[in-house]
């Protein structure tokens, strides 16, 4: 059994953050562990508030895990301050963490600013450590500093983010309109578009958290970056298709729908 650590925020509604990460890791056949960076007040409709965890407590959680358990991959999600980012970067460097996936969460689906303005530059230093970084279009724009409107722009953004130090970059194209959900992967110096039919549903809460956790899980199990991203893309496409209509807003994706089916449950 491989062990994967999620460093991210908590979502009480269960669709995003560490809750989504743990469900994804179970579905991907790895042992999930968590370091909580923030407690959010949110549901399927909106993020209503955030309480950050003290950087020393974030660091302490990371140290406690690495001191005791082999960590085969790390997923980093919600990190809202420069101080927390510095604590994470220091710990991951000190423990020589491997298979690091960074999901640069900056703004929630409902428009809540997750990342403080003073943390943007610090986040780039964390991106530089990543084996895979997974920005969506708005996040790619904030990282690279120019608009991303076309597939050529996606290529330019991926190159700009790779120039920060990230080994592989997945620019997610879900914010573009169209019948396909197309993501651009820059891996091993080459570009490839990963396309899938767009699933028409409002229930997409936690898709970014889920995808990045799936990538980390596959890296832990021995996939290279390209294979890990492709397997994770297939997983999130199925999970969106199996999304749950929970709550009045954007419901969660079906993280464990395949496991439920095997147990004889209807989903």
| Active-site choice (172, 173, 233, 254) | 172
| Residue 3, burial from CB neighbour count under 10 angstroms (0-12, 13-18, 19+) | middle
DSSP label at 256?
T
Q: Is 251 a catalytic residue?
A: no
| Residue 30, burial from CB neighbour count under 10 angstroms (0-12, 13-18, 19+) | buried
Q: Is 26 a catalytic residue?
A: no
d(CA 18, CA 21): 5
| Active-site choice (32, 37, 173, 209) | 209
How far from chain centre, in Å, is Cα 212? 3
| Active-site choice (17, 208, 251, 254) | 208
| Active-site choice (207, 210, 233, 251) | 207
Q: Is 204 a catalytic residue?
A: yes
Look at the chain and count its residues.
267
Q: Is 91 a catalytic residue?
A: no
Q: Is 178 a catalytic residue?
A: no
Q: Is 77 a catalytic residue?
A: no
| Active-site choice (9, 14, 32, 206) | 206
Q: Nearest-CA neighbor of 137 among 123, 157, 120?
A: 157
| Active-site choice (40, 134, 204, 210) | 204
For residue 245, report the phi and psi dihedrals to the nearest 5 degrees.
-90, 70
Q: Which residues are catalytic?
A: 172, 204, 206-209
């Amino acid at each position: 059994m491989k062990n994967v650590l999620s460093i991210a925020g908590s979502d009480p509604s269960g669709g995003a953050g560490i809750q989504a990460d743990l469900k994804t890791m179970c579905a991907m056949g790895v042992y999930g562990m968590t370091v909580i960076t923030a407690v959010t007040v949110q549901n399927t409709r909106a993020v209503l508030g955030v309480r950050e965890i003290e950087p020393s407590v974030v660091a302490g959680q990371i140290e406690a895990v690495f001191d005791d358990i082999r960590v085969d991959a790390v997923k980093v999600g919600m990190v809202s301050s420069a101080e927390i980012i510095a604590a994470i970067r220091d710990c991951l460097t000190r423990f020589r963490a491997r298979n690091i996936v960074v999901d640069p969460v900056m703004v929630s689906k409902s428009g809540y600013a997750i990342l403080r303005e003073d943390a943007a530059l610090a986040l780039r230093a964390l991106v530089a450590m990543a084996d895979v970084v997974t920005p969506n279009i708005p996040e790619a724009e904030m990282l690279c500093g120019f608009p991303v409107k076309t597939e050529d722009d996606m290529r330019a953004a991926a190159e700009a983010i790779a120039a920060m130090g990230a080994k592989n970059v997945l620019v997610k194209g879900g914010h573009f309109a169209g019948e396909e959900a197309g993501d651009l992967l820059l891996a091993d110096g080459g570009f490839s578009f990963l396309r899938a039919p767009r699933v028409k549903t409002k229930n997409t809460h936690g898709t970014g958290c889920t995808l990045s956790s799936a990538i980390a899980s596959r890296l832990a199990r021995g996939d290279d970056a390209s294979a890990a991203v492709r397997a994770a893309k297939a997983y999130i496409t199925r999970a969106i298709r199996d999304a749950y209509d929970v709550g009045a807003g954007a419901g969660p994706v079906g993280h464990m729908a395949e496991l439920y089916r095997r147990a004889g449950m209807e989903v």
